[in-house]
Amino acid sequence: MKKPTMTRRALLARGALGAAGLATAPRTLGAAEQALGRHGSHTPDLASTQGRVTRASIDPTAFLEHFDYGTVTTLPDGGTRREYTLTAVDAEIEVAPGVFYPAWTYNGQVPGPTLRATEGDLLRVVFVNAGTHAHTIHFHGIHPARMDGVYEVVNPGDRFVYEFTARPAGLQLYHCHAIPLKRHIAKGLYGTLIIDPKVPRPPAREMVMVLNGFDTNFDGTNEVYAVNTVPFAYHHDPIRVKKGELQRIYMVNILEFDLINSMHIHGNFFNVFRTGATTSSDFTDTLMFCQGERHIIEFTYEETGRFMFHAHQSEFAELGWMGVFEVVDEPSVIA
Amino acid sequence: MTANRWWWAFIPLGLLAALIVLVTQTGLLDRLRGPFPPVEVITVERVRLLPGRIELGIANAGPDPVTIAQVSVDEAFWNFTMSPSQTLGRFGRATVVLDYPWVENEAHVVSMLTSTGLTFEHGIALAVTTPVPTKASLWTFTLIGLYVGVIPVAIGLLFLPLIRRLSKGGLDFSLALTAGLLIFLGADALFEALENARAVPATLHGSALVVMGSVGTFLLLQLVGGSRARAESADGRRSVAWLIALSIGLHNLGEGLAIGAAYAIGEVSLGAFLIVGFMLHNTTEGLAIVAPVARDRPRLITLAAMGALAGIPTILGAWIGGYAFTATWATLFLAIGVGAIAQVVVALFRMFSRGEEPMWRPAIASGVLAGLLVMYATGLLVA
């Protein structure tokens, strides 16, 4: 902090004031005002970024419920092939209102598209590297080694086709695995792969939330935290939730630099299906995520009103990882 | 012919002007600039804490415009307003205002996030309400000035009867003591000026301010009063005393500034032990003023005026420091004090070298040494 340097002579001055027995010290001048005003003015709206993000590369509200099922072909054996194209491209994105970050992206957006398939589908992902650095796509899941996206580095201008069977059912993740790994992930090369079980999950309103953050000054710590890239996105534009309707969130933590992340919802508890690969669930209101960890959570609100959800790392919450469920009393259209 | 010689200045100046046009009006500048991102430097010049509010006075200390996009306090983004604009041009200044429920006597960190993602942090080590100019706070700072500057100097003046009764050697000693005290004060002020210079926005070149302020003041005083400050006549000796009073006054202005600012941000702890040290330490300033004129029986009104010149600037400094401290002003005032002290020390040494006597006779050398030791020792009392 820049404050006047306290010198020996300044210290001497302190003594003189003490001897004088000054009745009015500046410290006490504002005491009455402080008592009146300071602690009463905690307006929640003040704890937020200033302004709105307009060039985030995604619309958080649209991204929340958008799933890319790929181009579908029925194979001769009756199976399904889904083809996707992911292109690595450098893009400057707005990571907080007025703050621009030189991101590396899949398809120009952070997070990359949410790919969705059913267990047993043949996935064919055409990867084109239109960026300035070598990249890959490393999918989480069970697949052959040469489809793992680690050693087959794709140089700028090159392409690679990943082909594998979608398994196991659950909530997977994809990200670049080129080195240095931390930088390639932190700069935005990641996305979600949802593999639905052959027996569908119960009908629900479904959302995808990618927990991420940005180290805008490259000092190895995040300046901004978010769900789906835009800090406070669902705080400014609350997620409308219908009372009594089952909500299912596919939640992926891809945050770099911070070892853990979490999800806490207000006024409710949720069921956790770990990695979306289990049928048994935990019942809680606060869930911890390691880096790369992801879970499906399900809940239903029984009361209308505004319910906050956020990381229980308060710092993350107040630096952007905070949102609101606006529970309304409207009929559900989900069967 | 003599008038015509000035025409020769047009050749270099004309070429220079042409070159400036060439550099700025053609694409040359863009070529030199290169494809680098802008250099962003923000300096926080002052902080004001009001109930439920934090105000930062910031300056762009870099070569390129800077836009403050977001502000966080203690790792929480916070709404803010900025005037005149969120973008600071080269040399630009702005005020950032946050309605933030800061906690008294605790620490806070404000971080400004620029449009390119850089962060500039400013720590508030101890949050206390910044005094606003009211009758009560004005009186407080006046008291600070009285106790730091005016009263010790006045007490020091009372050494006059003693010095008057000293032998010639004793008088030499007391003058040399004065020189020693001033050398100590000058060095002290120089170090403080350089310390403050580091917090000056880079565009204003803090260390250059120290050089210009000190050397400039020295030369200015030399032009104005240097030739009159002589030991041979009573007028000359009185000039020396006036110069000492002025230089101590300028020094005390800078000192009042630092003390007022420190007091305003609550860095004040009180203790009887410190008062004793303070009295011993600062009364020496009054002694310094009367030493040159002790033999001349100066009028009381003259002495009082000299004391006022030396002491009252402390009050002014405390006001400025308390209400509007910036490192830039502190640096400049302290540097001016350095120059003034240097000029007086030069005048004093000219008084010592008279006739055939060697300048560094025992009374002089021991006096200067004693002056330094007295300052150092009384300084230890409050370390």
- What value does the mean pLDDT of chain A take? 88
Please answer yes or no on whether B255 and A16 come within 8 Å at the CB atom: no
**What's the pLDDT band for A40 if we cut at 50, 70, 90?**
very low
Chain A nearest CA to B295, separation (Å):
31
Of B354 and B313, more confident: B313
CATH for B42-124 (2.60.40.10, 3.30.70.1110, 3.30.390.10, 3.30.70.330): 2.60.40.10
- At B279 the pLDDT is 57
The CA distance from A317 to A213, in Å, is 11
Residue B57 token pair: 């006075």
Average pLDDT over residues B180-202: 87
Residues B378, B277 contacting (CB under 8 angstroms): yes
The CA distance from B145 to B378, in Å, is 20
Question: What does the pLDDT look like over B366-376, one tens digit per residue?
Answer: 999 998 998 88
Chain B nearest CA to A258, separation (Å):
14
Asked if pLDDT for residue A187 goes beyond 80, the answer is: yes
Residue B275 token pair: 């008062």
Q: How many pairs of residues across A and B have Cβ atoms under 8 Å apart? A: 225
* % of chain B with per-residue pLDDT over 90: 26
- At A9 the pLDDT is 36
Of B239 and A129, more confident: A129
Query: Side chain identity at B274, as an amino acid letter?
Result: L
Structure ipTM: 0.82
In degrees rounded to 5, what are phi and psi of residue B91? 70, 5
Asked if pLDDT for residue A211 goes beyond 90, the answer is: yes
Residues in chain B closer than 8 A to A315 (CB atoms):
75-76
- At B274 the pLDDT is 47
Residues in chain A closer than 8 A to B70 (CB atoms):
49-50, 96-99
Domain A60-328 fold: Immunoglobulin-like (2.60.40)
* % of chain A with per-residue pLDDT over 90: 83
Q: Is the peptide bond before A168 cis (omega within 30 degrees of 0)?
A: yes
Residues in Cβ contact with A121 at an 8 Å cutoff, skipping those fewer than 6 apart: A79, A80, A81, A82, A165, A166
Asked if pLDDT for residue A15 goes beyond 80, the answer is: no
Which among B77, B199, B281 has the least Cβ separation from residue A12?
Answer: B281
**What's the pLDDT band for B326 if we cut at 50, 70, 90?**
confident
**Nearest residue of A to residue B114 by CA position?**
A99
Q: Which of A19-23, A221-225, A248-252, B331-335 has the lowest mean pLDDT?
A: A19-23
Average pLDDT over residues B7-25: 87
Which among A14, A25, A320 has the least Cβ separation from residue B77?
Answer: A320
Residues B143, A20 contacting (CB under 8 angstroms): yes
HEC string of A235-271 equals HHCCEEEECCCCEEEEEEECCCCCCEEEEEECCCCEE
Question: What does the pLDDT look like over B199-214, one tens digit per residue?
Answer: 888 888 889 999 999 9
Q: DSSP of B158-217, one letter per residue?
A: TTHHHHHTS-HHHHHHHHHHHHHHHHHHHHHHHHHHHHHHTTS-GGG-HHHHHHHHHHHH
Q: DSSP of A117-144, one letter per residue?
A: EETTPEEEEEEEE-SSS-B--EE-SS--
Chain B nearest CA to A236, separation (Å):
13
SS3 of residue A212 by DSSP: strand
- At B231 the pLDDT is 65
The CA distance from A185 to A213, in Å, is 11
Average pLDDT over residues B73-101: 94
- At B272 the pLDDT is 45
**What's the pLDDT band for B1 if we cut at 50, 70, 90?**
low
Residues in chain A closer than 8 A to B325 (CB atoms):
4
Residues in chain B closer than 8 A to A49 (CB atoms):
70, 77
The CA distance from A179 to A198, in Å, is 36
Chain B nearest CA to A240, separation (Å):
24
SS3 of residue B333 by DSSP: helix
- At A110 the pLDDT is 97
Please give the DSSP secondary-structure letter assigned to residue A50: S
The CA distance from B76 to A48, in Å, is 8
- What value does the mean pLDDT of chain B take? 84
Of A263 and B141, more confident: A263
User: Which residue do the tokens 């009211």 mark?
Assistant: B134
Number of Cβ atoms within 10 Å of the Cβ of A85: 16
Average pLDDT over residues A26-32: 38
Helices (H), A94-248: 181-186, 233-236
Question: What does the pLDDT look like over B140-175, one tens digit per residue?
Answer: 888 878 887 888 888 888 888 888 888 888 888 888
- At B381 the pLDDT is 66
Asked if pLDDT for residue B14 goes beyond 70, the answer is: yes
Number of Cβ atoms within 10 Å of the Cβ of A277: 16
Asked if pLDDT for residue A325 goes beyond 80, the answer is: yes
- What region, left, alpha or beta, does residue A104 occupy, with left being phi > 0 and alpha being psi -120 to 50 degrees? beta
- Domain locations in chain A? 60-328
Q: Which of A116-125, A312-321, B307-316 has the lowest mean pLDDT?
A: B307-316
Residues B102, B88 contacting (CB under 8 angstroms): no
Residues B51, A33 contacting (CB under 8 angstroms): yes
Q: Which of B81-85, B166-170, B221-225 has the lowest mean pLDDT?
A: B221-225
Name the segment(s) of chain B with CATH classification 2.60.40.10. 42-124
Which among A14, A17, A96 has the least Cβ separation from residue B70?
Answer: A96
- At A222 the pLDDT is 97
The CA distance from A258 to A288, in Å, is 12
**What's the pLDDT band for A223 if we cut at 50, 70, 90?**
very high
Number of Cβ atoms within 10 Å of the Cβ of A279: 6
SS3 of residue A309 by DSSP: strand
SS3 of residue A88 by DSSP: strand
The CA distance from B360 to B339, in Å, is 24
**What's the pLDDT band for A44 if we cut at 50, 70, 90?**
low
Asked if pLDDT for residue A279 goes beyond 80, the answer is: yes
- At A335 the pLDDT is 64
pTM, to two decimals? 0.79
User: In this complex, is the C-beta atom of B38 within 8 Å of any C-beta atom belonging to chain A?
Assistant: no
Asked if pLDDT for residue A131 goes beyond 90, the answer is: yes
Asked if pLDDT for residue A98 goes beyond 60, the answer is: yes
- To test the contact with chain A by mutation, choose from B253, B259, B285 the residue with the greatest count of A C-beta atoms within 10 A, namely B259
